Amino acid sequence: MVSWRRSASWLSSASRSSLGGAVGGEAKVTPEVDPAAQEVVEEEEVDEERWSRLLPELLTEIVRRVDAGAERWPLRRDVVVCACVCRRWRDAAFSVVRPPVEGGRITFPSSLKQPGPRDAPMHCFIRRDKKNSTFSLHLSLTQARTDKGKFLLAARRFRQGAHTEYIISYDYDDLHPGSTSYIGKLRSDFLGTKFIIYDSEAPYDGAKPARSRSSRRFASKQISPQVSGGNYEVGQVTYKFNFLKSRGPRRMQCSIQCPVGQGAASDPSKEKTPAPNSLDLKNKAPRWHEHLQCWCLNFHGRVTVASVKNFQLVATAGSGGPWGVGDEETVILQFGKIEDDAFTMDYRQPLSAFQAFAICLTSFGTKLACE
């Protein structure tokens, strides 16, 4: 442990410097170092040098074998441990681990803002806590109903005057505006029919944060210099009004900013991010089942409870071409109820887990003007 004490000449030298520094003295402090703490620091530095001295080829091969032997969580935590050894191990891990669009796996926190798998949807589920107005997103590890999953993201609903906001965070226990775990938010209008999705990080190079007072993360000064103080609009979700009160599910439209090309690196900080294209989504029209007397959609067994919140989103005509999802039969995001406070969420390219989670959050809450 390192403590600091003022030297005997501190007062006199500080006085001389305040008088113009004619003598040339400056305020001095000398460190008082705990020998035991110093020995521990030296041992840690030696260990870090020992691990970082591995040949690049050997280091890459080690990380590659760990990655290959950990197909699913919780074994994938071994890959994260490798990335935490030192900077060289981190760079090696990011160079080996494929992003979700290629590998179909979520490994690092940065994966939550990268497009989902290209060939098959990523299976997740959302749990709701009505008492605390919180929602948690989990990665499905098995198909069992008792599956606790791998925690990914959390959100809490706040009331801001006539508006509602959902603060989205990496940490379930740190769901407050200004949190160091904050990654974005969702804000609704007065009627709860229009939502704007904000990202804490710039979605592309040169993006400008929203400057309206309502979209600021904090009303006061920035709490921590390590936390981004900006909110960047990355999407909108709109529910159509149902003036005639006709029978049928909610009708929704989404406009989401999604990158067209995705690099091979899992670490987005290693590459420049071009301006994304806008992906327009709409809910897939259900069919009326005469025998059941209800509107039906084929969720392929992923949804078991009928609810007005259930939906499937597909790309509008001509919108999904850059990502190869131009047909209106390819479901990009589906959300449905399986228990009283449990819902499935399956998403795929070009949506990320963060974007898909934000879109699903808009489905919670009563919308009298749409039903």
For residue 170, give the CATH number of its domain.
Answer: 3.20.90.10
Whether 235 and 309 share a structural domain: yes
So what's the pLDDT on residue 246?
54
Domain contains 9: no
Domain contains 55: yes
What is the DSSP annotation of 257-275?
EE-S---S-S-GGGS--PP
Number of H helices, E strands in the chain: 7, 16
Give the Cα separation of 63 and 192 in Å (integer).
47
Mean pLDDT for the chain overall:
76
Identify the residue with better confidence: 301 or 1: 301
Whether 305 and 163 share a structural domain: yes
- Given a cut of 50, whether residue 214 has pLDDT beyond it is no
So what's the pLDDT on residue 269?
59
Least confident of 104-113, 198-207, 272-281, 329-338: 272-281
Domain contains 269: no
Domain contains 71: yes
Whether 183 and 59 share a structural domain: no
Give the domain extent around 322. 122-205+230-261+274-362
Whether 127 and 242 share a structural domain: yes
Whether 60 and 188 share a structural domain: no
pLDDT-derived band of residue 309, with 50, 70 and 90 as boundaries?
A: confident
- Given a cut of 70, whether residue 7 has pLDDT beyond it is no
So what's the pLDDT on residue 215?
43
pLDDT tens, residue by residue, 141-172: 887 767 788 999 999 998 877 788 999 999 99
Average pLDDT over residues 320-341: 82
- Given a cut of 60, whether residue 371 has pLDDT beyond it is no
Whether 196 and 77 share a structural domain: no
Whether 195 and 319 share a structural domain: yes
Whether 91 and 146 share a structural domain: no
Domain contains 145: yes
Average pLDDT over residues 281-305: 77
Domain contains 12: no
What is the token pair recorded at 135?
A: 């929602």
pLDDT-derived band of residue 18, with 50, 70 and 90 as boundaries?
A: very low
Domain contains 83: yes
Domain contains 177: yes
Cα–Cα separations (whole angstroms), residue 300 to 17, 293, 331, 344 = 77, 20, 11, 12
Give whichever of 94-108, 250-264, 267-281 has the largest mean pLDDT: 94-108
Whether the Cβ atoms of residue 364 and residue 158 lie closer than 8 Å to each other? no
So what's the pLDDT on residue 170?
94
Whether the model clears a pTM of 0.85, i.e. scores above it, the answer is: no
Whether 296 and 237 share a structural domain: yes
Q: Please tell me the total count of domains within the chain.
A: 2
Whether the Cβ atoms of residue 338 and residue 301 lie closer than 8 Å to each other? no
- Given a cut of 60, whether residue 346 has pLDDT beyond it is yes
What is the token pair recorded at 14?
A: 């500080």
Whether 164 and 292 share a structural domain: yes
Whether 292 and 188 share a structural domain: yes
pLDDT-derived band of residue 22, with 50, 70 and 90 as boundaries?
A: very low
Whether the Cβ atoms of residue 152 and residue 169 lie closer than 8 Å to each other? no
Average pLDDT over residues 314-334: 79
Whether 92 and 137 share a structural domain: no
